[in-house]
Structure 1
Amino acid sequence: MSRNTQHLMLFCTAVVLFVAACLYGQRNVLILTSALNERTASVTAMEGRIHMTLHSSQPNRYTGAEVLHTVRQMTGTGIQVEVDGLEYIIDPFANPSATIPVELEGNYLPTYNRGAAGELLKLSFRKEVKGND
């Protein structure tokens, strides 16, 4: 085999390996992009869920009815919902009349507990204490 033939074979091998590496890299970029898009969509959906499930009069303060509705909507999402220090899980399909001890006309302040990546881990509601005027 002549020297030129050897160089041509080595060059062709290098080109084939380069193209294979580029295709593999492109595949990985597509996988990572789709995973990132899916994660972004799920975080966005969870973020807006509490505000989009029920029109709230004030986003920083919720009535007891809005808290009850939020607990029902968040069941099955993997996000803990806590009301006055107690965690509640209500499955509206298993027990449609289930309720939690909240004052429907009372005001509750929400607290959003997030993980290091910014995802919502726990949603806590504390009853707002009215001062004696």
Structure 2
Amino acid sequence: MNVKVNRRSKIPYYQQLTQQLLLSIATGSLKKGDHLPSIRQLAAQTNLNLHTVHKSYKELQKKGIITIKPQSRAFVIVDPNKATTISCHQIAMKVEQLLIEAYILGMKKSQLKEMFYDILQKYYTESERDGY
């Protein structure tokens, strides 16, 4: 598993790690049933503290993306091609929070649309997950 942390980013390391693991699941690099590296292995690979990796795994567990068995490794329990345990309502709340912040920062509606479209294109193909 190729995971890298940007040490110059203002985003906390555990959030960067969580995002990269989510992206690996979304793109199919990690599939339902796949084992994640042990906390110790991933900490060594990324040169992060054990607690940082543990916090990332706990975030994913809380979202219902992975499960962690005591004395064992974590593994993916969600199938990105099926409905996830993260509800649309939770995602809508996050999007709304970002829109409020963008509004406060003075971003134009056209800028937001372009940014959102660019991000959609990064993760979705034309017919992927749009019901067509």
Q: Give the TM-score, by structure 2 length.
A: 0.23
Q: Give the TM-score, by structure 1 length.
A: 0.23
Which structure would you say has the larger Rg?
1
